[in-house]
A and B are shown apart, each in its own frame.
Chain A
Amino acid sequence: MKSSYLRAGAALACAAALSACGGSSGELLLGGSYSGVTKAGLVLTNGDQRYEVPASSAGNGSGSFYFPELVGTDDEYDVKVAGRPDNVEDCVVTNGKGRAAFNITTVQVNCTFKKHALKGSIANLKGDGLVLVNGSDRVTVTAGATGFTMAEVPEDAPYGVAILQQPVNQTCTLANGSGTMAKVDVTNLAVTCAP
């Protein structure tokens, strides 16, 4: 008799501890990794649970996330995107659906940034050989060109165009070469060559 009270008490304590822990009846983690999240705004849902993923602290837009509420063994889960940071085009969930049997750490949310053009004008370029770089992006400009276009740049990302190689017999300078990509195309880069 005594032992059965003890047991019930223990079970109750156990249940209390669990619910205190997760705020729900569950005991399993639900989460995974994300990429392309450099600012707040990514909202994920699982049923009626809602979780706003904070911006990546790593600075590269990638990190891991877990719903604050736990899910129960054998519960179905279905992670969906309910809100996106304003600098991304789309966020895609993979491995978002299933039935929980153990801690779920394999949900992936990959967001792709909006991208904008990075281009400018060229004055007085007479020879071949001008090469412009934006980091690892390399563009060769031919003689007589009056404009150039670099690869598109993600919104909110920095850009910095530099001259990798001068054209034959000329020296060019670049104005407005660096900045941070806003919500519209950047078109004000200006290369001027002399003599």
Chain B
Amino acid sequence: MKSFLIRPALALALAAGLAACGGGDKAEFTVSGAVYNLAYEGLQLTNNGGDTITIAPPAKAGDQVNFSFPGKLEYGDTYNVQVSKQPAHQSCGLTGNYPVNADTAGRLAAINIPFACSINTQPIGGKVSGLTVAGLQLANGSTGGVVTLDKDATAYTFPLPVAYNQTYGVTVLKNPDGLSCSVSNPAGTMGDVAITNIDVACVPRT
């Protein structure tokens, strides 16, 4: 009789103990964060190499985009969030002074991983012919920098690259003594590849 009562009581106590341990009110952690300066489609983040989310740019340009992975973590689970696919025309990476993208859930009160994106840039330049005298100066507008070419240069690249979707326009700022130089394909709008066809041809001035 006595043992008949004790056994269910024990089982009940055990069940209660288990529930307290792992069941109903256990702590759950959401792997979340924010992406800054996202402007184009295509960004994908992956947690632990498997769980993947696609992040769309904000409705209003410049706003941050908050994200959360659907799978919840328990205390002590590890997470490791990486950019698995870059958006079009941009490069995104961790930002901030001490960004933590991989850790153990529960060590921080909340998981908040900051990413920032920047617009890709590409160099512009071209070939040069007939430059028998030093001193040719080329400019890319007022803010795109100036290059000064040496005698016998056969190619050049501007030190400042141009961001995707920005225009460029290369002009002769100063001709070398005795030469007259002209630029072909001087202007364009930057795409996703380097521009190498802004060719310059110099001929003796008559």
Residues of A within 8 A of B (CB): 133-138, 153-154, 157-164, 177-181
Contacts and interface: CB of A to CB of B under 8 A. Distances in A.
Given A162-B186, A163-B187, A164-B167, A135 B142 contact: yes
A162 B142 contact: no
8 contacts: A135-B141, A159-B141, A160-B140, A160-B169, A162-B171, A162-B183, A164-B169, A178-B172
Majority SS at the chain B contact face: strand
Interface string B170-206: 1111000000000100111100000000000000000
Given A159-B139, A159-B142, A162-B169, 18 more contacts: A133-B141, A133-B187, A135-B139, A135-B142, A153-B142, A157-B143, A158-B139, A158-B142, A161-B169, A163-B186, A163-B187, A164-B169, A164-B187, A164-B188, A177-B171, A178-B139, A178-B171, A181-B142
In the complex, which range does the number of interface residues on chain B fall in? 20 to 34
A155 to B, nearest CB: 11
B146 interface: yes
A163 B169 CA distance: 8
Given A135-B141, A135-B143, A135-B144, A160 B173 contact: yes
Given A160-B141, A162-B187, A164-B188, A135 B173 contact: no
A135 B167 contact: yes
Between B137, B139, B188, the greatest number of chain A beta carbons within 10 A of the residue's beta carbon is seen for B139
Nearest to B166: A136
A177 B170 CA distance: 11
A180 B169 contact: no
Contacts of A163: 186-187
Contacts of B142: 134-135, 137, 153-154, 157-160, 181
Contacts of A136: 141, 143-144, 162-163, 166-168
A135 B146 contact: no
B188 A161 contact: no
A106 to B, nearest CB: 16
Contacts, number: 76
A179 B77 CA distance: 63
Interface in B123-168: 137, 139-144, 146, 162-163, 166-168
A137 B168 CA distance: 8
A157 B140 CA distance: 11
Between A134, A136, A181, the greatest number of chain B beta carbons within 10 A of the residue's beta carbon is seen for A136
Contact of B168 (A135, A153, A179, A180): A135
Contacts of B188: 164
B146 A158 contact: yes
A154 B173 CA distance: 16
A134 B169 contact: yes
B9 to A, nearest CB: 68
B175 to A, nearest CB: 10
Contacts of B143: 135-137, 157
Contacts of A161: 141, 169, 171
- Give 8 nearest A-B pairs by CB, closest first: A135-B141, A160-B171, A162-B169, A178-B171, A162-B187, A135-B144, A133-B169, A158-B139
A158 B172 CA distance: 10
B80 to A, nearest CB: 36
Between B142, B166, B169, the greatest number of chain A beta carbons within 10 A of the residue's beta carbon is seen for B142
